[in-house]
Amino acid sequence: MDPITFSIIRHRLFRVVDEAVITLKHVSGSAITNEGHDLMVSLYRADGSLLMGGVGFLHHLTSAAEACKAIIRRFKGQINEGDVYLLNDPYTAALHTSDIYLVAPIHHEGRLVYDIGAMNPGGFSPDSQDIYTEGISSPGLKLVDRGELRQDVLDTLLNMVRNPEMVTLDIRSMIACNNVAADRMLALIRKYGHPTVDEACATLIEQSETLLRARLAELPDGQWQSRQYMDVKGETAKVCLTMTKKGDTLTFDFTGSSPQSRYALNCTRWASLGGLFAPLFPLLCYDITWNEGVIRPITMIAPEGSIVNCTRPAPVSVATVGAIQSVNNAACATIGKMLAASEKYRKEATTVWHANHFAIFMFGRNQRGGQSIGILTETFAGAGGARTFADGVDVGGEIPNPISRMANVETMESIFPLRYLFRRRLTDSGGPGRYRGGLGMEIAITPHDAPDGGLHYVVSGKGAKYSMSEGLGGGYPGAPNRYVWVHNDETGERNADPSFALSLEDMPGRTEDISWGVFPLMGKDALYVAWNGGGGFGDPLERDPEQVQVDVESRFVTREAARSVYGVVTDAGGIVDLAATKRLRAEMRGARMERRAAE
């Protein structure tokens, strides 16, 4: 078709998605949407295939396509203009039950709601041992009929959640978002005519497929492997990936991954597919429209009954920060290795970014007497992975959601009755390497002005035992996460006020490492959370000593790590001793030579 018209329609489709996202954020009142940007809006073809993937959590792009197809199948012959359908069943398409997909005949989108009535508040339910205790789960129902909201359906949903006001706002924001997208699409069709728009959409999908296949053909054939460990309550599960590139195709094979877990970090097949595409879209298709054409050259093998393709009724509510994230990490690692094997694309390679979300949902009576349920949005404040030419960006976000961010401290303190003792970059958390992984963070919070003396929180934190952000080319993985409950039991000498503590070591009270379940934050208790840095790239002994000095001066790296990991000697004033550094590095390389051969 006429290339000018094609380009105009293509850009208009981008803008339709953008306007819909703005509407969603304006109507929703939740920090996770407005601040964290935990949402996704996309356009799909009449058969449910992905047409224009929007920004937001990219795990949803393929899952929401499956949601569209499921709605088309279920309501065949009954789909009318003005309808909106709701689907959140993980065994049909959603990632977990708190991901509500609202599907309308013209466009489709999905996002997280605050609470879904599961065993634990907030949508992530670490205590659940099956899908039946993870809240409402619908394989598809009609929420809006010919433009009229079905109040009976909405009331039924709200009757089963802990925070109906916020859930109402969440759902209405999605309906508004759908309406705006529909209006803009209709305007586009009125201007250019349906045949022209339809032809442009079909061409767009063909173009994406052609471009991705051409890119894959430029990359070397081969196989690359990755492995992720997840720890929950003393049990370790693993996700294994062998990615094979042949010609213009890619196959992701998860054979060898653990059997499905009794804990809720499992994910379904659709969720795994979303997990591997989340890094693939931005790393291999940064200049290609994200749609069905990108999906066609990709094959996934996920053994049934495994942690990456669980069978009903396995629990999945923690999937997005559990197996899905590990699938995402493993795919990111193998794609990074493949890119590093290409002279042309070497500079596009990256180590694993923010590899370990911690879903901490706070809940309880707030300082205004109402109920608050919500996530600590710091979970979105991931660390950038090192590149082949530069350090990772400290607190640089994450690849699966390029626009996510954390809320201001003041926002969180206004939502919950708590106070931040500190929030800052975490020393030594970035994976060492010639180029260092970006730093993660550490925070400490304590109750403040809480009518009930505090509140509680749900934590679904795997990754306290294992680093999850892999390095590349010899670079170390980033640091693991840590979750510490600081007990101050109001009695005896431990009854000290943590208000002015500047570090975990400064805090009075007994510390207890935790990671999974529901815990109190009452009285003078504190919660300390530290999270992973990005993976490093290359040999730490090749890092510019002056850059290590800057790291030490900036408190990004300790003097001890500068010496023991980077082989850089600094004097008492923190200045690099180049001669001593050269000697130490030569000794460290020599020591490597004395080790036994790997076989």
Partner 1 sequence: MSRPIAANLEIRSTGKGDHIACRSCGHALAPAGQPWKRHAILRELSMNGAGGKAYTGAREAILRQFGCPGCGALLDSEMALPGEPFLDDIVRA
Contact residues: partner 1, CB under 8 A: 220-227, 229, 236, 337, 340-341, 343, 346, 349, 388, 426-429, 431-432, 440, 464-467, 470-482, 513, 530, 533, 537-541, 557-558, 560-561, 565, 589-590, 592-593, 595-599
DSSP 112-144: E-S--S-SSTTS--TT--SGGGS----S-EEEE
Per-position DSSP letters for 419-456, written without gaps between them: EEEEEEEPTT-SPPSSBPPPP-EEEEEEE-S-TTSEEE
Q: How far apart are the first and last CA of the chain?
A: 59
Residue type (1 letter), 81: E
- Assign 387 to helix, strand or coil: strand
**Shortest spacing between CB 219 and partner 1, in angstroms:** 10
Least separation in angstroms between residue 321's CB and partner 1 is 17
Q: Which residues contact 3 (CB under 8 A, 6 or more apart)?
A: none
Nearest distance from residue 376's CB to partner 1, in Å? Answer: 19
Question: Cβ 587 to partner 1, closest distance in Å?
Answer: 11
Assign 408 to helix, strand or coil: coil
DSSP state of 97: T
Q: Which is nearer to partner 1, 28 or 467 (CB)?
A: 467
Residue with smaller CB distance to partner 1, 304 or 587:
587
* Residue with smaller CB distance to partner 1, 64 or 464: 464
Minimum CB distance to partner 1 smaller for 301 or for 341: 341
Q: Which is nearer to partner 1, 69 or 238 (CB)?
A: 238
Nearer to partner 1, 96 or 482 (CB): 482
Residue with tokens 């201001």: 408
* Cβ–Cβ under 8 Å, residues 23 and 42: no
Q: Across the strands, what pairs with 94?
A: none
Cβ-based nearer residue to partner 1, 28 or 242: 242
Count of beta carbons in the 10 Å neighbourhood of residue 44? 26
Least distance from partner 1 to the Cβ atom of residue 241, Å: 10
CB 293 within 8 A of CB 208: yes
User: How near is the Cβ of 514 to partner 1 at its closest, in Å?
Assistant: 12
Please identify, using beta-carbon distances, which residue of 489 and 560 lies nearer to partner 1: 560
Cα–Cα distance for residue pair 318/96, rounded to 1 Å? 7
| Comparison of 124 and 531: residue with beta carbon closer to partner 1 | 531
Q: In terms of CB distance, is 480 or 509 closer to partner 1?
A: 480
Give the contacts of 594 (CB within 8 A, at least 6 positions apart).
none
Angle subtended by helix axes 3-27 and 194-218, to nearest 10: 90
As measured in angstroms, the least distance from the Cβ of 581 to partner 1 is: 16
Instruction: Give whichever of 162 and 337 is closer to partner 1, judged by the CB atom.
Output: 337
Query: Nearest distance from residue 440's CB to partner 1, in Å?
Result: 8
For partner 1, the closer CB: 37 or 337? 337
Question: Which residue type is seen at 256?
Answer: G
CB of 483 to partner 1, least distance (A): 10
As measured in angstroms, the least distance from the Cβ of 64 to partner 1 is 32
| Closest CB 597 distance from partner 1, rounded Å | 6
Residue with tokens 């640089």: 396
- Helix (H, G, I), strand (E, B), or coil: what is residue 148? strand
CA distances from 37 to 279, 381, 397 (A): 17, 12, 11
CB of 323 to partner 1, least distance (A): 18
Q: Are 446 and 395 in contact (CB under 8 A)?
A: no
CA distance 197 to 269: 33
**Burial zone of 63 (CB within 10 Å; 0-12 exposed, 13-18 middle, 19+ buried):** buried
| φ and ψ at residue 254, rounded to 5 degrees | -100, 20
Given a contact cutoff of 8 angstroms between Cβ atoms, the answer to whether 61 and 281 are in contact is yes
